[in-house]
Amino acid sequence: MAYAFPSAGWVDALVAILNSDTRYAQVARGWEGDIVFAVGPDGPAAEGDASDRIYLDLWHGECRKGSFHPAGGEAAPEAVFTLSATRANLLRILSGDLDPMQAMLTRKLQVRGNMGYMLRNVPVVLDFVRCCRRVEIAP
């Protein structure tokens, strides 16, 4: 089934994949840290924060909670990491067109949080992206 991105359906599908993917469970067994993805609008920056947010509580190879917070709605919880990008750039990462490490090094994906922890856990980051790519996105 294909889901709009970002949407509650996409988040639920990702949570189900993260909690059933044996490789992710193994690779991310040491990961501790929740993440908010801020999905910004494409084009010129809008006034205020017009980003939709995805909250994922990632803990030792599991996703304990996932939720979708549309712009202007209920705020997402504060997280250890906030990763921000335009929807277009996130879709490029999800389609495999943009390497996630390249996106971070070029600020197409902005990281707020401990960069050292993120870099030391590069295999977790890459496997997380692999799981995200398993969720089919509606055109």
Partner 1 sequence: MPRFLLVHQVVAMPSTQDEWIRDWSGIRQRSQGEARWLASWYSAETNRLYCEWESPSREAIAACFTAAEREMAPIISLEEVAHMDPAWLDPVP
Among 40, 69, 121, 128, binds partner 1 (CB under 8 A): 121
Q: Does 114 bind partner 1 (CB under 8 A)?
A: yes
Q: Does 122 bind partner 1 (CB under 8 A)?
A: yes
Q: Does 107 bind partner 1 (CB under 8 A)?
A: yes
Tokens describing residue 47: 């006034």
Q: Does 23 bind partner 1 (CB under 8 A)?
A: no
For residue 62, the minimal CB distance to partner 1 (Å) is 20
Q: Does 119 bind partner 1 (CB under 8 A)?
A: yes
Q: Does 129 bind partner 1 (CB under 8 A)?
A: no
Sequence-ordered strand ranges (E) for the chain? 32-40, 52-59, 62-69, 81-86, 110-112
Q: How many C-beta neighbours within 10 Å does residue 121 have? A: 18
Q: How far apart are the first and last CA of the chain?
A: 12
Round to whole Å and give the CA distance between 109 and 100: 8
Query: By the criterion CB under 8 A, which residues form the site for partner 1?
Result: 104-105, 107, 110-112, 114-117, 119-123
